[in-house]
Amino acid sequence: MQTILTFHGSRDRFISLNVFVAFMVNIPVNILNSNVKINAKIHDKLFEKIVNIKEGFSGNSPPSVFIGSKLKYPKVNVGILAPPEITEDSWIYDSQNYWARNNYGIKDILEFRTSLINSRFSTRVTNFNERLISIAQEIAMAAKPVDLEVSLKKKVSFDLELSRFNLPMGPRALLDNVKITSNPKVEKKVEKVIYDTDLKAVDALNYLYSNSYDEQTLSKLLSIGLLGVKKNRKLVSTRWSITAVDDSLGKDMLKNIKEDETIDSFQLFYGNHLGNYYFIMLFPNVFSYELFEMYLPGSSWNPSNEIAASTDHEDFFGRTNYASNTVGGYYAARLGILEYLSKIKKQASILVIRLETPEYWAALGVWVVRAASRKTMEARPVIFEDKDKMLEFARLSIKKRFNYDINSLYAKSVLLNNILKQKTLKDF
């Protein structure tokens, strides 16, 4: 029997270095294998250098900053991430879309992330007069890696933090001082929105996105307080900035999508990224969206022996509150699908079933959901004459592949129930 889960508070995982190493050694070979391999010798060299760091180091940030959410608001931790030495192509250590396009595996990504030191300091979300904030902002707006000299208050702590929301975080230390030793390059369009202090944050996000800046860049600029009307600017935890970007971009696309004609067939898209399998069904009805997330035993957030599940939905008029059951994954998965609908200039009702399998043995952040959604929508859809045939095809496929009958899920679906009585576009 499945259980509907609601996640409360932080579900981040901390693993000590020794436990992490033992964990990695015991991972099945078939899971560790990835299509693209990084140079393990380089990673080992960096990790050895981290062990020997006592007071500081010189490195080059990808560029990357991280705003933590564990302190009592309005205080936050601000982290500047960099490898312990000047490293060729350090940008790859913080490039989630590049990882997705090139099919990097979980082990590869963890090696990238454990090669970065998170040098942190605490501040208030509106304390923009602090020198370290100014430096962190200068790093965040840079288009290429930034050379740094970093001084630390204490030795490096070797923890691996895994999160449903954020990228994995590796070694960390308390920051004493940091100095930029190169000339950061800031692109003109980024400068435009940063220095326009009358431009709303949502408009800045849409402008940059329309000019081919990815959501990771947008989230970074938003979290470090570089976007929006001047009086409203503040530091935002990276976790919440990610969801804010996914939601804002999605809502902007929906303004136009809801004015488009509906698709003219029943379409099923199937895809997978890092053990996250998606069945995305499009119905020729006005926009609505429902997500079911199924966590199979042994996957990153389900150590039990039973399948767990969560769900959220919205109708044509949207949500009035946060998707508290499926949290950030709700908005990340929706974005990939809306990008597709925006491209074909059609609208549809959307039923999404995500199956998180044991292949996804370490949580890497919500970007995985976004990447999986996009990869799924890039596949050729299976076309059906009616909804019943599409639903049955999905049911049989999931039963055969994952040994789970989703009829109980269909029975609980708000979207499927509404489709039976949904008005046509002409009625609105």
Q: Which residues of 349-364 are buried (b: 16+ CB within 10 A; e: fewer)?
A: bbbbbbbbbebbbbbb
pLDDT-derived band of residue 38, with 50, 70 and 90 as boundaries?
Answer: very low
Give the global pTM. 0.89
User: What interhelical angle do 328-344 and 238-257 show, nearest 10?
Assistant: 30
The CA–CA distances, whole Å, from 17 to 50, 107, 123, 204 equal 12, 15, 28, 40
pLDDT digits 0-9 by tens, 85-129: 999 899 999 999 999 999 999 999 999 999 999 999 999 999 998
Question: Are 331 and 230 in a shared domain?
Answer: no
Considering the domain architecture, whether residues 328 and 235 belong to the same structural domain is answered as: no
Domain membership of residue 218 (yes or no) is yes
**Is 407 within a domain?**
yes
Query: Angle of helix 201-210 relative to helix 238-257, nearest 10 degrees?
Result: 70
Averaged pLDDT for residues 271-299:
96
Mean pLDDT is lowest, of 76-85, 119-128, 159-168, 389-398, for: 159-168
| 121 and 240 housed in the same domain | no
pLDDT of residue 41: 61
Residue 382 reports pLDDT greater than 90? yes
Two structure tokens written together for 228:
């929006």
In terms of Cα–Cα distance, which of 245, 336, 334, 353 is closest to 295? 353
In a domain, 2, yes or no: no
Confidence class of residue 301 from pLDDT cuts 50, 70 and 90? confident
Residues 72 and 143 in one domain: yes
- Number of domains observed in the structure of the chain: 3
Are both 49 and 120 inside the same structural domain? yes
For residue 126, count other CB atoms closer than 10 A to its CB: 12
Which of 255, 272, 304 delimits the end of a domain? 255
Asked whether the predicted pLDDT for residue 150 surpasses 90, the reply is yes
**What would the pLDDT profile of 307-343 be if each residue is shown by its tens digit?**
889 999 999 999 999 999 999 999 999 999 999 999 9
Average pLDDT, the chain: 89
5 in any annotated domain: no
* Residue 291 · residue 326 · CB < 8 Å: yes
pLDDT of residue 423: 53
**What confidence category does residue 8 fall into, taking pLDDT thresholds of 50, 70 and 90?**
very low
In a domain, 226, yes or no: yes
282: number of Cβ within 10 Å: 25
- Structural domain of 24: 13-180
Q: Which residues on adjacent β-strands are paired with residue 171?
A: none
